[in-house]
C-alpha cells in the first residue's frame, strides 16, 4: 500500500508499506497503527469504513487510477482550498 505523509500541502514522504492482515479489518487495524488519518481507496467494506471513521480516519473511496496521481490531485485540491482559491 502506498503511504504518503503530507504536511501543509507538501508531500514529505512516500513509502510502499506491507500492511499485512489476512482480513480487511486486519488491514484497517494496521493502517490505524501506522497513524493513517486519511485513506484513499478504490473500494472498502462498509464495516471497515465505519470502523475507520470511529478511529478518526477519513475514508475517500471510489478512487480509480494511478495512486500517485490521485494523491497529487487530493493534495492540490486541499492546498487550493486552504488558500481560498
Are 6 and 12 a contacting pair, CB within 8 Å?
yes
User: pLDDT of the chain along its 85 residues, tens only?
Assistant: 999 999 888 889 999 999 887 899 999 999 999 999 999 999 999 999 999 999 999 999 999 999 999 999 988 876 554 555 4
Phi, psi of 47 (to 5 degrees): -60, -45
Residue ranges per structural domain of the chain: 2-83
**CATH no. for 2-83:** 3.30.420.130
What is the helix (H) or strand (E) element at residue 10, kind and residue range?
Answer: strand 10-16
Q: pTM value?
A: 0.81
Instruction: Please write the tens of the pLDDT for every residue from 32-50.
Output: 999 999 999 999 999 999 9
Amino acid at each position: 500500500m502506498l503511504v504518503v505523509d503530507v504536511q501543509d500541502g507538501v508531500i514529505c514522504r512516500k513509502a510502499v508499506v506491507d500492511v499485512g492482515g489476512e482480513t480487511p479489518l486486519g488491514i484497517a487495524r494496521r493502517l490505524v497503527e501506522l497513524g493513517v488519518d486519511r485513506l484513499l481507496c478504490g473500494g472498502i467494506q462498509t464495516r471497515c469504513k465505519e470502523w475507520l471513521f470511529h478511529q478518526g480516519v477519513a475514508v475517500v473511496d471510489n478512487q480509480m487510477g494511478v495512486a500517485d496521481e490521485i494523491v497529487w490531485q487530493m493534495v492540490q485540491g486541499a492546498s487550493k482550498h486552504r488558500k481560498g482559491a
